[in-house]
Structure 1
Amino acid sequence: MAVQTQKLNEHNSKVVVLDFINALNAEKYDVAREQLADDMTFKGVMGERNGADVYMEDMKKMKFKYDIQKVFVDGYDVSIWYNINMDEKTIFSAGWYKVENELIKSFQVIFDPRPIL
């Protein structure tokens, strides 16, 4: 039974994160927000955000687009390699999402910021 539970957790975690990314790409910010825990945290190269509403306000302004290259799942952790279109520049990035209770609780994104500085 533990193996079945692990697979279910991995599947659910992957679905939550991919639903989040797909909603951002479609500019369906209300749908993206539903995938985030209210007290979620974000850490990135250019700064940090605390709280889902604060994070989503920034996303509405930036309108980044994500081209997923590879998804890795380990239980409640989901890692994605993607190209992110930021202000007409495409930056290869890696994101590490932690899912709790089928919501994104925290995530970090790393990339080389030199092309956008």
Structure 2
Amino acid sequence: MYDVEEFWKFDMRVGLVKDAEKIPRTRKLIKLVVDFGKEERTIVTGIADQYSPEDLKGKKFIFVLNLKPKKFSGVESQGMLIVAETEEGRVFLIPVPDEVPVGTKVW
């Protein structure tokens, strides 16, 4: 079990995917350019085996922002997309309603 204080350490925000493209020579990686209101970040997600970049462009999702940057196939990811995943590995996107402003804190 984790203390709730551990949960509050995560900076989760609503972001709008401005651009998305498959990372060449990879099977699952998509590079996202995400608008968080005061800044844009590059975020890499590993869902290209189930979703296309077009499924993500222009939509709002929840992201974790305060993770250490990590490189995937030469692209630095500055956060993580939050998704739902079944035990069988099926991934579901969790859309955010249009009226929620970008940059809004999630808790």
Is this a same-fold pair by TM over 0.5?
A: no
Structure with higher helix content: 1
Task: Looking at secondary structure, tell me which structure has more strand per residue.
Answer: 1
Higher relative contact order (CA 8 A, sep 6+): 2
